Amino acid sequence: MAHAKAIFFGEHALVYGKKGISIPLNQMKINVKLNKTDTTQERDEIIDYIAKECGISNTTEIKITSSIPLGRGLGSSAALSVAIARANSCKNIKEIADKCEKFIHGNPSGIDVSQVLSDKPLLFSKEEGAQELDFTLDAYLLIIDTGIVGITKHAVERVRKNYEQNKRAIEELGNISLEVIEPLKNKDIEKVASYMNKAHILLNELSVCHPANNEVVEISKKNGAIGAKLTGGGDGGCCIALTPEQNTAKKIQKKLKEKGYSSWIVTL
């Protein structure tokens, strides 16, 4: 079994060695059971690759039950790799999952695997790895599904292709991850929200925000969210919205549903 994750701050900047902040989404899980059979199992390319890395025979059925939506920037592929490795009692789970992420995404930052393996929020960079961040905001966070499958690999490649023109935005996204640490620890949710709004503007500058990302952000802010932004690679996927009150979160959720968007409310 493994849980999902959301990137709070640092999308795309992480790829270039900057720091990012992620949070576990323990309410969203994937469970894997392995069943020995006498016949060769048909698998898609990704599951077949993970199975081989985990030393699982091609006659073993891999039964997957998941509440993590695919292609939404919530770490579904990392959670899948970790869950399959755990189901087979692999000892080098992180190594396996990191290798599988590279196969799936090309040049991932590594934050997904680290956060899927941790129940605590993380401060992460490629060079320094993962460090636990001790904070709670006593607030509510909506995880909002745009319904658009975003291919992280494609978004990362596009940002890299235009790196020179994107360099300033990448630097600022990395700086936000450092500047927001103190407000997080001090439960200064207004300041945290302001950084969320700034980060979303910068992610738009990188051209990784699908129109649906911008629509759900605007719906959320119009109905009481104090901060809202894209989370993950972009080109659709998910957004997050912050509010100090549960009733406001439920109001936003209702408005989003009226527009056809699914969402989940988690405590932060």
Q: How many helices, marked H, and strands, marked E, lie in the chain? A: 10, 9
Tell me what pLDDT residue 222 has. Answer: 98
Neighbouring CB atoms inside 10 A of 2's CB total 28
Q: Each residue of 31-60: pLDDT tens digit?
A: 999 999 999 999 999 999 999 999 999 999
Please report which helix (H) or strand (E) contains residue 30, including its range.
strand 20-36
Tell me what pLDDT residue 153 has. Answer: 80
Q: Each residue of 84-105: pLDDT tens digit?
A: 999 999 999 999 999 999 998 7
Enumerate residue ranges in the chain where pLDDT < 50: none
Q: What is the pTM of this model?
A: 0.88
209-212 contact pairs (CB < 8 A, 24+): 209/234, 210/146, 210/148, 210/150, 210/234, 210/235, 210/236, 212/146, 212/147, 212/148, 212/236
